[in-house]
Structure 1
Amino acid sequence: MSVNALAARPISSDTYRAVMRHLPTGVAAVCSTDRTTGVQNGMIVGTFASLSMEPALVTFSVMDSSTSWPKIADASTFSISLLAEDQQQVCRALSSKGEDKLRSVAWSESEWGNPHIQGALAWFDCRVEQQFVAGDHIVVIASVIDMAHSEGSPLIFHGGRFGSFRENLIPSS
């Protein structure tokens, strides 16, 4: 029987979630400042990835029902901070519903006017290059206009829990 003759099985969201929870992800804070009101907006994404080196592009996705993303996308630029292993509280604060999510989060303003989370391993200032709907998400492609990094271990989300990276050294034979 040809692969093309097989009928695709419907995949339930519960099954999809149960399988995908086996993939660890980094945790990134996406933030901006509304240029009219001066209000900071923020959210967490677990889908952040490098997309291209030339030109420097990154990508992430957000639920199409997100109320935070439209506020961030409306700014001319926004920031992405890669959270460090000890920043679970930052993740929880920016994952909450409501306004003023950065109230309890230490941050500093970038040259571009965006909140950079203090203690993060890296940050990027970006502009939206493209965004498009894919299923129940919006895929964002952003051009990097500035970036920097520090040392440390990343905050990892895996199997519904937070953790950190630990190198698994294999003895040489």
Structure 2
Amino acid sequence: MKTMNAMSTARVYPQLDHQQIYEEYAEKIHRYFRYRVKNVWDVEDLTTTVFIKVYSKLEQYDRRHPFGAWIFRIAHNTLIDYLRKKRECPVDQEMFSSIKATDEDELPEASLLTQETTEGLWKQVHNLTVDQRNVISLRYLADLRMNEIAQILGKSEASVKILHFRGIRKLQQIMKAEA
């Protein structure tokens, strides 16, 4: 039976083996957790847990949804389970402070200003609704498309776009009020 499942998995998603799946998605999943969980060790554990679940359920992937959306659905559910157990706030301001400017030629002052602006923005994410936080995190931290986010959250793409729009608008209003 196990050989049959492995064979059907190979037919369903033949181009990726475990190493390829890990290489393609590990950094995105780690980043998704890193900005939502305080403890670095827990981030590592959660990332590992996701891949254990993915590998153990690979034969259940049925191609109705994009592979990345399927993996992030597992990651999202793993995060929800973790937060329920820990009762932690899913947005950690300390972790957002580690965001660095990506332009190496940028002056240190400009880099600091960019980092402070980014920190200020992410500190305000906790003012959003849970659904808006989830959409914003999946969009900008996991770098997913709206249709993938909709599948992960079990919502329509239209409702995800509305949540995204309202969340961004609320963040803009908060940042303007602070300026």
Give the structure-2-normalised TM-score: 0.26
Higher helix share: 2
Give the structure-1-normalised TM-score: 0.27
Higher strand share: 1
